[in-house]
Amino acid sequence: MSLRLSTVILPYRRWSEGGRAAWQRAEELGFHTAYTYDHLSWRTFRDGPWFGAVPTLTAAAAVTDRLRLGTLVTSPNFRHPVTLAKELISLDDISGGRVTLGIGAGGTGFDATVLGQEPWTPRERADRLAEFVPLLDRLLTEDSVSYEGDFYSAHEARNIPGCVQRPRLPFAVAATGPRGLRLAARYGQAWVTTGDPKLYENGTPEQSVQAIRGQAEKLADACAEIGRDTNELDKILLTGFTPDRGRPLESLDAFVDFAGRHRELGVTEIVIHWPIPDSDFAADEKVFEQIAMEAPAQLR
């Protein structure tokens, strides 16, 4: 099985000062998809420039032709299904059907409190995602939707003409817990993992591989519960959050070794961060481009 290679471009640069060039270069390098984070601010970037995901992806759609575009990931922390659906349908139209929605429960960072609310517990985040995803699925596939739930409501929400991609644009559901994995199995066209966060500081690459194997097995079980073949779902690994950290981007050989070990787990797409100097995502740009251009052929 060939392995797709994608990238994630953080929206920290002005469009006229390197933003546009990065997305165009991602297409030139042959990446399958270029994603961006859907946050209002993020970690060490909080006090610097940071732009919105949907406008950034819209601009990227206008200056590329083949590159798929997406979020890794959108969450209910500051999104509402009704308004998000309208934006996604518009983005899918502008891009000519090149959009993937990465979606997850969100975390406890700045997005969790920026609207003035207390951070939700893991259970509360899971509760909201469990309502958010099915409603968004309806909003993207039905012309008119009315719904009254515990957290979200829609009253005759119109979404005509719907997505270019039919029946809707694909969902890539980020999940490791049982409820999230069941959502991925039922609604996802892909599943996203970053590995086991508990292993990031003190775990080993071998332990991380075992953890991802266990996650994939639980996803397969969730699919089996509803009679779905787990092979119907793409399995996406967003790198940079496993104990390997930035080592896979130190050389072509290091990346091919890393990617090969994860392909054996059933991973079908690996996402690497576009290099950002003086950050956790710092990397040699020449090595990064070499990996983009040469690694896919070695991983077929």
CATH code assigned at 227? 3.20.20.30
Provide the number of structural domains found in the chain: 1
Residue 70, CA atoms < 13 Å, CB-side half-sphere: 28
Q: Torsion over CA of 211, 214, 219 and 223, rounded to 10 degrees?
A: 170
Average pLDDT over residues 260-286: 97
Whether pTM exceeds 0.85: yes
Average pLDDT over residues 206-210: 98
Q: Three-state DSSP class for 1?
A: coil
Q: Three-state DSSP class for 53?
A: helix
Q: How far apart are CA 41 and CA 58, in angstroms?
A: 19
Residue 124 belongs to domain spanning = 4-299
- Does residue 2 have a pLDDT over 90? no
pLDDT at residue 208, as a whole number:
98
Question: Using one digit for the tens of pLDDT, what is the confidence trace for 229-249?
Answer: 999 999 999 999 999 999 999
Q: How far apart are CA 144 and CA 129, in angstroms?
A: 21
- Does residue 284 have a pLDDT over 90? yes
Closest among 75, 282, 273, 63 to 180, alpha carbons compared: 75
DSSP 43: G
Owner of token pair 């759609």:
61
Question: Using one digit for the tens of pLDDT, what is the confidence trace for 52-93?
Answer: 999 999 999 999 999 999 999 999 999 999 999 999 999 999
Structure tokens at 289: 């481009």
Residues shown for the chain: 300
Closest among 299, 298, 289, 300 to 30, alpha carbons compared: 289
Query: Which amino acid is present at 126?
Result: A
The answer to whether residues 88 and 71 touch, using CB atoms and an 8 Å cutoff, is no
- For the chain, the straight-line distance linking the first and the last C-alpha, in angstroms and rounded, comes to 6
Query: What count of other Cβ atoms lies within 10 Å of the Cβ of residue 238?
Result: 23
Q: How far apart are CA 194 and CA 203, in angstroms?
A: 14
pLDDT at residue 1, as a whole number:
62
Average pLDDT over residues 31-45: 96
Indicate the pLDDT class of residue 300, thresholds 50, 70 and 90.
confident
Partnered with residue 237 across adjacent β-strands are 193, 270
What is Dmax (Cα atoms) for the chain?
54
Q: How far apart are CA 31 and CA 287, in angstroms?
A: 15
Average pLDDT over residues 281-296: 97
Q: How far apart are CA 101 and CA 172, in angstroms?
A: 6
Question: Using one digit for the tens of pLDDT, what is the confidence trace for 87-120?
Answer: 999 999 999 999 999 999 999 889 999 999 999 9
Closest among 277, 270, 275 to 295, alpha carbons compared: 270
Average pLDDT over residues 279-290: 97
